[in-house]
Amino acid sequence: MLYKELNAYYNEKPGRFNRVLYVREDIGLRELGCVLLTALRAEFEHLFMFTVRKGNTSVNYVSRILMDDPLDDYVCMNDYHLPDLGSSFNFVYDTGDFWDFSCEVSTETKEIDGEKYAYLLDGAGQGIWEDNRYSLTMYLNGLVPPERDYEDDEEGIYLPWNLPAEKFGDFDLPLDMQKETDLFDTSLNTNIQDYLEQDDGYQGYVDMNFDYGEQEVYDPEEARDMMENDDQFLLATLASIIMNQTEHDEVIREVFEELCEEDEPDRAMLKILKVYYNAMRPAVFDETPFDREEYRRQVRNLIGKNRRS
């Protein structure tokens, strides 16, 4: 089987967070995304995409779910393979947190006696901190000391929930590559199989009814009308999105549940936005006048972004 060397560098700190792999030269993009996420120790809780820049334009290879309401530069990744990306591209995981990696592919091929999708060779940095890029960014930029071993709700600083870490500096400990490759080899096929089954089984956009917890498939025209004119629908959808993002934070869930009980949905949406944009921590709400339509617009934008993340 022929393979190519692929180097993936985290754009924020490429020297401190990266992976080196051999990948099949003809690997499909869905499988390639699973390879990268497995190597980066992600939990597959969000979508991923590949971006290829061509001059002043770009092409984004995305999953089927994002093709329900695609942007102009979206292409469904399902029928594309590594050669379609060229020698360099970006790999993005979780378009909300936006874990952005620059990837370089060797022009030379290597023949390996095996049929694995990929081989993990080397790397630096513990892995992706799920739903917690803010804390890692603070650490990587020297705003959180490596010896710190405690969390802080007010600052919004947390240790990773998906990786073992007693203190923030554990992110930079040298990787035990034997352990990493063993974990990679035992997890990869299952991760690919689970992802493909989920992607192939996708039947169209499904939203959650916030009041009753029942799934409803919305007619696109009806959903667009509700997005424009129904504040109660906007509030329910916004709260559902953010509460899903904060499933591990009981304090924030209680804040949103309390806000959703307000009589005025537009006022509740304003407060939720203020919490969201204050690092998703409780904020002091002022009562200054606000432009209701402007906040409705922000809510619609946030809902649209999270449907694509």
On whether both 257 and 148 belong to a single domain, the answer is no
Same domain, 94 and 242: no
Query: Are residue 262 and residue 142 in the same domain, yes or no?
Result: no
User: 179 and 42, same structural domain?
Assistant: yes
Q: Give the pair of three-digit tokens for residue 225.
A: 């009308």
192 and 242 fall within a common domain = no
Residue range 211-228: average pLDDT?
Answer: 47
Averaged pLDDT for residues 170-185: 97
The lowest-confidence range among 55-59, 143-147, 258-262 is 258-262
What's the per-residue H, E or C state across the chain?
CEEEEEEEEECCCCCCCEEEEEEECCCEHHHHHHHHHHHCCCCCCCCEEEEEEECCEEEEEECHHHHCCCCCCEEEHHHCEHHHHCCEEEEEECCCCCEEEEEEEEEEEEECCCCCCEEEEEEECCCCCCCCHHHHHHHHCCCCCCCCCCCECCCCECCCCCCCCCCHHHHHCCCCHHHHHHHHHHHHHHHHHHHHHHHHCCCCCCEECCCCCCEECCCHHHHHHHHHHCHHHHHHHHHHHHHHHCCCCHHHHHHHHHHCCCCCHHHHHHHHHHHHHCCCCCCCCCCCCCCHHHHHHHHHHHHHHHHCC
What is the residue whose two structure tokens read 């995409």? 49
Q: What pLDDT is attached to residue 273?
A: 66
167 and 179 assigned to the same domain: no
Task: Looking at the structure, tell me whether residues 130 and 106 fall in a common domain.
Answer: no
Indicate if 162 and 253 belong to the same structural domain.
Answer: no
Per-residue pLDDT of 27-71, as tens digits, reads: 999 999 999 999 999 999 889 999 999 888 899 999 988 888 788
Domain extent, residue 90, equals 2-125+175-200
The pLDDT tens digits for 109-131 are 999 998 899 999 999 999 999 98
99-112 pLDDT, tens digit each: 999 999 999 999 99
Whether residues 241 and 261 share a domain: the answer is yes
Residue 304 pLDDT class (50, 70, 90 cuts): low
Within this chain, do residues 182 and 41 fall inside the same structural domain, yes or no?
yes
How many independent structural domains does the chain possess? 3
At 60, which CATH number? 3.10.290.30
Give the residue-averaged pLDDT of 171-192: 97
The answer on 59 and 15 residing in a single domain is: yes
Which of the pair, 190 or 274, is modelled with greater confidence? 190
Pairing of strands 18-24, 74-76: unpaired
Confidence class for position 207, pLDDT limits 50, 70, 90: very low
Do 138 and 92 belong together in one domain? no
Q: Which two tokens stand for residue 228?
A: 């424009």
pLDDT range class, residue 154, cuts 50, 70, 90: confident
Is the pLDDT at 235 greater than 60? The verdict is yes
